[in-house]
Structure 1
Amino acid sequence: MSVEEIDRLHKYRDDDQFVNTKEEFQKVTGVSDSILNLISPYFKFPEWVNNQRNNLKDVTKQEKENKPSSVVVKDLNQVTLEELKSINGIGDILSERILKFRDRLGGFIVDEQLYDVYALKPEVAERILKKYRVLKVPEIQKIDINTATAWELSKIVYISRGVAEGIVRYRNEKGEILSFGELIQIENFPADRIDRIPLYLSLKK
């Protein structure tokens, strides 16, 4: 360093000011980039300065993580085979199974129905739902649970033929079904999917 550069640093220190970064050192002294690169490895700054830098990095990282995603969400009822296969964890078999399940439903009514696809892991379903959601709900004509035949009931994905017949028997014995909660009394009824039933059936008013 030249005498002039050293004098500038001393004058800065005489004013009770301190250099806390190598960039600030260069600004105060006016040293060249080559000199700065040569001597900066030997700089030692107070611990609180380093902590302040780390805190700033953490804040910046958190701001990036909290920054709204720019991903454009598309309709789950329009997703194609190739689009599904581009998602990590989805191959030929699962992509075809998802589309077949969608066809059987007549289209997804709610996002949660994606979790009902056989052998589709929840974490993979979550990846899909980051890009594809139900944007346009299909028109589903609900049928009255108290007048539907066993055949009509069995057309619903979540109700097997045996359960459908059980519903009709229960209805004949009780006169009518007053709440969907009653269905869990029917043998082999899929109780874990009872929240899906009102999407397709209605109760007599």
Structure 2
Amino acid sequence: MKPFNFFLQFTSGQRKGILVLFLLVMIFQAVYFFVASYDITREEGHSAEKKEWLAHQAEIDALKAKSNNKKDTIYPFNPNYISDHKGYALGMSIAEIDRLHAFRKTGKFVNSADDFQDVTKVSGEVLARISPYFKFPDWVNEKNKKGKAETGPAFAKTDRPFAKEEKKIIPTDINNALEEDLVKVYGIGPAFAKKILRRRAELGAFGSMEQMDEFTDLSPEAVKGLKKSFYIGANPDVSKININSASLQQLSRFPYFNRNLAKAIITKRSMNGRVVNVDELSKINDFPVDKIKIIALYLEF
């Protein structure tokens, strides 16, 4: 008992304090050992998981390499209609794409890989990579083959395929023409052909080949080709609009009028009782007098 005699020297309150302190130390040590044991167990679990990931790392690296080496599929396309996005995807520079677009705005077309390089100034490496996918109309391919067969390489090099030319076709009534007839004209693509057909549908029929001049986004060569390849047949079935009975909405929908002009026409016929002829209309402000002969084909009084 002597070793504990020193403990009896303390008061009752001091002895209680020492016991509480002793208990707290024991509790803290127990918590420390528990947490340390948990961390070791968790680390062992992570190590096992890490080993499992490393076991599959070779397979993951192989899949990544395969994905990085995958190349986008290039499908056959007409190089005349390359968009900014398409050109960038093909490896063309902005300047090269702009040269092609500027060339196309003149109404001309590239008809071979050589033409494409002459216009865009792409490198031989880019041309060699993308030119196998160029797809031109059949008549262009036939012409190129015929030119090479008849004149040889020397002539083919100097006779540029994007010079003015058009597909020979038998003259056709434009009011009976189909899209495939229109695209035979040099400079007329599917989009322009559809635009011409939409205008014909709005009018019922074309009344004059001079109406081709109204397609201002067509090149002069394309308009000339249309006039040479098509004609207006007898008694075209144009949609007539009665100036004295048509509503504001009907007059506004007429391709040669707008809403302001339609209002002015209704005001004039209200004041005069009726409009007698197209000459009276020509006195209205902003009336398109330069097209008065064509407009007259579609009016009734």
Q: TM-score, normalised by structure 1?
A: 0.56
Residue 162 to residue 99, structure 1, CA distance change in 2 (3 Å) = same
Q: Distance in 2 between matches of 1:125 and 1:193?
A: 17
Q: Distance in 2 between matches of 1:126 and 1:170?
A: 39
Counterpart code for 1:158: Y
Alpha-carbon distance, 1:76 to partner: 0.6
Q: Distance in 1 between matches of 2:234 and 2:293?
A: 20
Structure 1 window deviating more from structure 2 (132-141 vs 96-105): it is 132-141
Structure ranking higher on relative contact order (CA contacts 8 Å, 6+ apart): 1
Q: Distance in 1 between matches of 2:183 and 2:241?
A: 35
What's the CA shift string for 1:144-195, capped at 9, x where partnerless?
3223222232232211222111100111123322331222332332222111
Matched residue count: 134
Residue 88 (structure 1) aligns with:
186
Matched, 1:169 2:267: yes
Matched, 1:195 2:293: yes
Matched, 1:153 2:280: no
Q: Whose helix fraction is larger, Structure 1's or Structure 2's?
A: 2
Residue number among 203, 212, 235 corresponding to 1:105 in the alignment: 203
What's the CA shift string for 1:40-97, capped at 9, x where partnerless?
xxxxxxxxxxxxxxxxxxxxxxxxxxxxxx9632121122222222211212332221
Matched, 1:185 2:283: yes
Counterpart code for 1:87: V
Residue 49 (structure 2) aligns with:
none
Counterpart code for 1:180: V
Matched, 1:125 2:223: yes
Report the secondary structure of 1:189's partner residue.
coil
Q: Distance in 2 between matches of 1:105 and 1:141?
A: 6
Q: Is the 8 A contact 1:75 1:136 kept in 2?
A: no
CA RMSD for the aligned pairs?
2.4
Matched, 1:142 2:142: no
Residue 106 to residue 168, structure 1, CA distance change in 2 (3 Å) = same
Counterpart code for 2:275: I
Structure 2: which 5+ runs fail to align? Answer: 1-167
Q: Distance in 2 between matches of 1:89 and 1:151?
A: 35
Q: Is the 8 A contact 2:242 2:299 kept in 1?
A: yes
Q: Distance in 2 between matches of 1:138 and 1:185?
A: 28
Report the secondary structure of 1:77's partner residue.
helix
Alpha-carbon distance, 1:138 to partner: 3.6
Structure 1: which 5+ runs fail to align? Answer: 1-69
Q: Distance in 1 between matches of 2:232 and 2:224?
A: 13
Residue 107 to residue 140, structure 1, CA distance change in 2 (3 Å) = closer
Q: Is the 8 A contact 2:203 2:239 kept in 1?
A: no
Residue 92 to residue 139, structure 1, CA distance change in 2 (3 Å) = closer
Q: Is the 8 A contact 2:206 2:238 kept in 1?
A: no
- Give 1 or 2 for the bigger CA radius of gyration: 2
Alpha-carbon distance, 1:119 to partner: 1.9
Residue 90 to residue 143, structure 1, CA distance change in 2 (3 Å) = closer
| Identity between Structure 1 and Structure 2 (%) | 33
Q: Is the 8 A contact 2:182 2:188 kept in 1?
A: yes
Residue 180 to residue 103, structure 1, CA distance change in 2 (3 Å) = same
Residue 6 (structure 2) aligns with:
none
Alpha-carbon distance, 1:132 to partner: 1.3
Q: Is the 8 A contact 1:77 1:136 kept in 2?
A: no
